[in-house]
């Protein structure tokens, strides 16, 4: 009898089963043999929202939610945020190792080569209403890219996969900036391949500010934000990427789905919701009243930017972002007055038994909006700012899923709760 196993006795039948344990998990398929009788389908696991189910093996991101640890390919995220560039981090996440100088140069130049989008996309973008939310526009335009690259359907071809990965990472800042410029009625700005990834994005976004040249510290701050948002293992939008990708759909369609998942206020949409919440609170003295209303349900909202499915101690990204906010305020020469509201909210919530007992701490979205605001990036762009770097994580997970022999089309089971067999009744007798 192996030591690493679980003995299960089915009290319905008195039978005992030996289920192997590997990597702290049992395979729920091993439960299928546990049956009441020959006609029984077999035991299943029931886990709505995947609270305790591992859906894959992954070598990309490690999180220890109790200790507040986040690592990409083994490297602590705070070390990367301090020392690595965004392009180095993207390479690391996708390929598993930090690049050499030559590899980095080749990687950066291949990204720069692909930043332009097909001119037809300009016309497509113009079809949106003037007030279209940039996230809605991004979902559509990224999905539309699949029609320009029909060979992207060949997802089992590693070379073609690599080409779509490069295209997506290169083009998403262009589409993101254009989505915003359309909403303002500003002319589209074409990419500048001489600039870095972050500097080029800022320029495309803000070119109407005459002679706009992004400050190097602002570019670095954006690089750090991109590093912190690049991957987060099996979160909602990544699960969507893997799920759509498992049907062998092309990566543009799959990423459009992931962006849609990210849009929700319980996921990436929280950064926009945090800023709106801070604006609604307005001043420091209103914080206790707001926290009380959150707790008794009368605020009609949760405390946005607080809580996390995995982190039950602190979110290491929030720590780095809080420090970064101070640096950005120093560079731009003004402190966002909402920072005081945020700090007070954090202070009160961290002392309040409601939040302490539920292990609710500030997450990545709590302070990121304040930095975007200081960089004069409009609120409706906040979740777009998250989607740009997360594209790297989604693609790394997609590649890993497609090359994992254990993966198949994702298809959960259900517990049917509807009617038993019924016979059709003609409309006259209903
Ligand atoms: N404010 C107030 N109460 C909260 C909050 C919050 N932000 N988050 C959780 N709770 C409470 C719940 O009401 C619940 O209380 P109960 O046990 O009395 O019913 C308890 O804490 C547990 O909450 P769940 O919803 O079960 O926790 P879950 O792990 O499913 O949710 C989530 C995690 C969605 C992030 C949640 O904490 C939340 O809604 N936070 C606000 C939105 C947010 O900031 N999302 C961004 C997450 S980070 C990211 O996706 C990039």
Which domains does the chain show, CATH number per domain? 73-269+379-402 (1.10.580.10), 271-374 (1.10.230.10)
| Long-range contacts of residues 279-288, Cβ cutoff 8 Å, at least 24 apart | 279/338, 281/341, 281/345, 282/341, 283/341, 284/340, 284/341, 284/344, 286/341, 287/341, 287/344, 287/345, 287/348, 288/348
Q: Pick the atom of ligand 1 nearest to 49's CA.
A: 30
Distance 304 CA to ligand 1 centre (A): 9
Catalytic residue status for 308: yes
* Residue 55, SS3 per DSSP: coil
Structure tokens at 53: 């189910």
Lowest mean pLDDT among 1-10, 56-65, 191-200, 227-236: 1-10
pTM over 0.85: yes
% the chain with pLDDT above 90: 82
Distance 294 CA to ligand 1 centre (A): 12
Per-residue pLDDT tens over the stretch 389-427: 999 999 999 999 999 999 999 999 999 999 999 999 999
Q: Which residue, 302, 297, 286, is CA-closest to 344?
A: 286
Residue among 233, 278, 307, 359 whose CB has most ligand 1 atoms within 8 A, to mutate: 307
Q: How far apart are the first and last CA of the chain?
A: 61
Place of tokens 């909006």: 369
Q: Which residues share a beta bridge with 72?
A: 61, 75
A 10 A CB-CB count for 19 gives 15
Going by CA atoms, what residue is nearest to atom 14 of ligand 1?
A: 358
Model confidence band, residue 4 (pLDDT cutoffs 50, 70, 90): very high
Q: Pick the atom of ligand 1 nearest to 366's CA.
A: 44
């Amino acid at each position: 009898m192996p030591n690493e196993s679980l003995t299960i006795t089915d009290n319905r039948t008195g039978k005992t089963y030996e289920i192997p344990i590997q990597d702290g998990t049992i395979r729920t398929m091993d439960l299928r043999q546990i049956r009441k009788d020959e006609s029984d389908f077999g035991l299943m696991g029931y886990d709505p929202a995947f609270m305790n189910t591992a859906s894959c093996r992954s070598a990309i991101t490690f999180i220890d939610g109790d200790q507040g640890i986040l690592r990409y390919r083994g490297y602590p995220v705070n070390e990367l945020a301090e020392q690595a560039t965004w392009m180095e981090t993207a390479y690391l996440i996708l390929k598993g190792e930090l690049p050499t100088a030559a590899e980095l140069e080749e990687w950066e130049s291949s990204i720069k080569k692909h930043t332009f989008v097909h001119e037809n996309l300009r016309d497509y973008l113009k079809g949106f209403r003037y007030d279209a939310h940039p996230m809605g526009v991004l979902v559509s335009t990224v999905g539309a890219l699949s029609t320009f690259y029909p060979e992207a359907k060949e997802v089992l071809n590693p070379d073609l996969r690599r080409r779509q990965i490069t295209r997506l990472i290169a083009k998403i800042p262009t589409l993101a900036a254009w989505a915003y410029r359309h909403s303002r009625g500003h002319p589209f700005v074409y990419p500048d391949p001489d600039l870095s990834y972050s500097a080029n994005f800022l320029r495309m976004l803000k070119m109407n500010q005459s002679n706009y040249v992004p400050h190097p510290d602002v570019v670095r701050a954006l690089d750090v934000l991109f590093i912190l948002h690049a991957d987060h293992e099996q979160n909602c939008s990544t699960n969507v990427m893997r799920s759509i990708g498992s049907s062998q759909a092309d990566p543009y369609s799959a990423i459009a789905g992931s962006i849609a998942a990210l849009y929700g206020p319980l996921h990436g949409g929280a950064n926009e919701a945090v800023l709106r919440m801070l604006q609604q609170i307005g001043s420091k003295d209103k914080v206790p009243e707001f926290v009380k209303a959150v707790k008794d349900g009368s605020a009609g909202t949760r405390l946005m930017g607080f809580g996390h499915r995995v982190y039950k101690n602190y979110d290491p990204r929030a720590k780095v972002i809080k420090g970064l906010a101070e640096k950005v305020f120093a560079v731009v020469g003004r402190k966002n007055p909402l920072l005081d509201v945020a700090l007070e909210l954090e202070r009160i919530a961290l002392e309040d038994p409601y939040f302490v007992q539920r292990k609710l701490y500030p997450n990545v979205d709590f302070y990121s909006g304040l930095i975007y605001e200081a960089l004069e990036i409009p609120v409706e762009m906040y979740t777009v700012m998250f989607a740009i770097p997360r594209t790297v994580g989604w693609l790394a997970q997609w590649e890993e899923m497609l090359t994992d022999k254990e993966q198949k089309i994702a298809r959960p089971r259900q517990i049917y709760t509807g009617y038993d067999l019924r016979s059709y009744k003609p409309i006259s007798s209903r």
